Amino acid sequence: MQSSQPPYTSRGRGFIAGSALMVLVPKLRGKIGVYVERLAARLPPYPDAYTLAGLAATFAGCALVLRGNLWVGVALFVLGALLDALDGAVARAHRIVSRRGGFLDSLSDRLSDAAITYGYSIFAPAWLVYTAGVAALVYSYARARAEAAICKKLEGVGVLERGERLPVQLVIYLVYGLVGNAAALMLLAAYTVALLIALVDRSLRLYRVLGYLDSGSE
């Protein structure tokens, strides 16, 4: 007697594997960060150059992905991410942290986010790509605007910072290349929903924090 259960498709396997990677990959950041800090101390002290090189690599990766050269494009995304991780580490290692460098790094991060997200248009509808891109930008803007209002860093207010988002974004490309459109589309949709939820959560929490500070200053 045949089972009435549908066969376990590659789409399902790809979605489950991708979901697991979305959870596990960000947890490796701490371990990777140790090696990045060690490497940074041995590199020339030009953090802005690493920032710009990382941005150039990401833009080139996006162009290649859109032209159908997925794996080279993803490799350039990874290179861009590594260079982006190095700029701040190099500045700290050589004690040359600056406001100008921080501004350039933040601007580069937003442009890189947009480029990586735009590449999803090879398999996803425009409305989903647009939603994911805008949600990521507004999520980062909410923190930046709150920090500007109180002149203080706001670490840990919300999840899915860029360091958590970037590995997930790359996993979506890997699932697309190895499994196919459908699994990658499901992962992108899940990522976008998670990002929207995180955006609402961060906005409400920051709104309450700023309201508390306003009431305390009266």
| Residues belonging to the active site | 109
CB 103 within 8 A of CB 88: no
CB 192 within 8 A of CB 168: no
Tokens of 98: 């600056």
Question: What tokens does 55 get?
Answer: 């941005």
CA atoms of 70 and 82, how far apart (whole Å): 18
User: Three-state secondary structure along 116-133?
Assistant: HHHHHHHCCCHHHHHHHH
- Token digits for 154? 């706001």
- The length of the chain is 218
